Amino acid sequence: MKAVCWMGKGSIEVHEVPDPQVVNPHDCVIKVTRTAICGSDLHLYDGYIPTMESGDILGHEFMGIVEEVGSEVKKLKRGDRVVVPFTIACGNCAFCKRELWSLCDNTNPNAHVCEAMYGYTGSALFGYSHIYGGYAGGQAQYVRVPFADVGPIKIESSVTDEQVLFLSDIYPTGYQGAVNCNIEEGDTVAVWGCGPVGLFAIASAYMLGAGKVIAIDRFPERLKLAREYCGATTIDYTEDDVTVVEALRDLTGGVGPDGCIDAVGMEAHSHTAVGLYDKVKQTLMMETDRPFVLRQAIQSIRKGGSLSVPGVYGGVLDKVNFGAAFGKGIKMGMGQTNMHKYLAPLLKTIEEGQIDPSFLISHRIGIEQVPAMYKTWRDKQDAVTKIVIDPWQDAIVA
């Protein structure tokens, strides 16, 4: 089959590789019908996540048709149409039982590496380095899915692939981002980043009762989606006279937002001196992440408010204003998304027409176009807002 492979930092290639097989009786193999590139894939592309190996198959947002099932699989059969969550969970450990699915104790065969870094490991992830299990990803024509009775959700209605594909990650991730803001009716929520995760966080914040959402980014096409599709008030943080912390204060009667969502993470951009400081330190490997947005969110939030961090951080952060977080008594929620908890309720919102997640797709491509598109995606060129791949076409000329 054809698969998108990580060959080194900044190097992606499509290769012909062996088809995946059922190796455990609880596995299934899926024929991928649609897959996507995520903001998280950029951290791999840019070399910020250790333990990638040349030839690793990328991709953790995918859906398809069940091709083969292992002998112990009860809930799926060949021909079923499914979306697969990007976190791999066993369904049986103490963490899965508490619905902390992304913290599953049993799915990461390389747990010891995570334990050395973090104390304990989270769940394994598809296509996301060897620290997270080394499982092959879904930017491919087929993919092996372990714990097939636990993760995949069957799609039995007539919704299109493009409408449900984002249940694999970014819609639940934006939704959990909003849940972690502990929203009360009428609250004001600020969202940094109008990429896919930020856009779904905005939409979800309104679903959960927010009265006003303020969204921050610099790309006009992303700010436009935030305004026109999601209903946010927007701030372009690169405009000359804009200081985000002050703008948020002005927009909230001096109080600060009730909830702040960092949907940017470790590769935050900044045109300020502080941003340059982070960039230099990260380049010199003196700092693992660029926590520019995290600092701003902590500074902006109202006293007693909630800080939610769906944006990914990987290491040790420099100059984080933790004293401000403490001084204002804020609550914090973060982490990989507990995907399995949200699949069924969010599928319902799509089937009932509350949201059509395909609104943010800007590019539809074939598999041979993927390597070039990683660069477009990283550099946010060509007004890109989300790329969807049909792995059975070489190229799509739209």
Ligand X SMILES: NC(=O)c1ccc[n+]([C@@H]2O[C@H](COP(=O)([O-])OP(=O)(O)OC[C@H]3O[C@@H](n4cnc5c(N)ncnc54)[C@H](O)[C@@H]3O)[C@@H](O)[C@H]2O)c1
**Residues found near Zn ion in the complex (CB under 5 A):** 38, 40, 89-90, 93, 96, 104, 106, 169
Q: How far is the CB of 195 from ligand X (least distance, A)?
A: 2
279 is an interface residue for ligand X by CB under 6 A? no
Total residues at interface with ligand X (CB under 6 A) = 34
Beta pairing class for 387-390 and 363-366: parallel
Of positions 183, 197, 365, 373, contacts ligand X by CB under 6 A: 197
Of positions 35, 123, 188, 270, contacts ligand X by CB under 6 A: 270
β-bridge mates for residue 145, sequence order = 28
Q: Which does 195 bind (CB under 5 to 8 A by kind): Zn ion, ligand X, none?
A: ligand X
171 is an interface residue for ligand X by CB under 6 A? no
The answer for residues whose C-beta is within 8 angstroms of residue 337's C-beta and 6 or more apart is 86, 87, 102, 169, 172, 173, 176, 310
Q: Are 122 and 190 in contact (CB under 8 A)?
A: no
Of 131 and 170, nearer to ligand X (C-beta) is 170
State which amino acid sits at residue 345.
P
Tokens representing 247 are 């703008």
Residue 76: how many other CB atoms lie within 10 Å:
18
Of 138 and 195, nearer to ligand X (C-beta) is 195
Q: Which of 65, 77, 59 lies closest to 149 in space, CA to CA?
A: 77
138 is an interface residue for ligand X by CB under 6 A? no
Residue with tokens 């660029």: 290
Tokens representing 143 are 């993919």
> Which span sits near ligand X by CB under 6 A: 105-113, 132-140, 305-313, 367-375?
305-313
Q: How far is the CB of 170 from ligand X (least distance, A)?
A: 6
Among positions 33-72, residues that touch ligand X (CB under 6 A) are 38-40, 42-43
> Which span sits near ligand X by CB under 6 A: 46-54, 72-80, 309-317, 357-365?
309-317
Q: Which does 331 bind (CB under 5 to 8 A by kind): ligand X, Zn ion, none?
A: none
Tokens representing 74 are 């009860």
Q: How far is the CB of 293 from ligand X (least distance, A)?
A: 5
89 is an interface residue for ligand X by CB under 6 A? no
Q: Which does 255 bind (CB under 5 to 8 A by kind): ligand X, Zn ion, none?
A: none
Q: 66: burial class by Cβ within 10 Å (0-12, 13-18, 19+)?
A: buried
Residue 282: how many other CB atoms lie within 10 Å:
18
> Which span sits near ligand X by CB under 6 A: 45-53, 128-136, 210-218, 366-374?
210-218
Residue in the shown chain whose Cβ atom is closest to Zn ion:
38
Q: Are 91 and 41 in contact (CB under 8 A)?
A: no
How far apart are alpha carbons 100 and 98 in whole angstroms? 5
Q: Which does 310 bind (CB under 5 to 8 A by kind): Zn ion, ligand X, none?
A: ligand X
Q: What is the DSSP string of 303-364?
A: TT-EEEE-S---S--SS--HHHHHHTT-EEEESS--HHHHHHHHHHHHHTTS--GGGG--EE
Residues in the chain: 398
337 is an interface residue for ligand X by CB under 6 A? yes
Q: Which does 262 bind (CB under 5 to 8 A by kind): Zn ion, ligand X, none?
A: none
Q: Which does 222 bind (CB under 5 to 8 A by kind): Zn ion, ligand X, none?
A: ligand X
Of positions 64, 151, 196, 257, contacts ligand X by CB under 6 A: 196
3-class secondary structure, 392: coil
Of 40 and 141, nearer to Zn ion (C-beta) is 40
State which amino acid sits at residue 269.
H
268 is an interface residue for ligand X by CB under 6 A? yes
Q: Which of 216, 254, 263, 261 lies closest to 238 in space, CA to CA?
A: 216
198 is an interface residue for ligand X by CB under 6 A? yes
Q: Which residues bind ligand X (CB under 6 A)?
A: 38-40, 42-43, 169-170, 173, 192-198, 216-219, 222, 237, 263-265, 268-270, 292-293, 310-312, 336-337
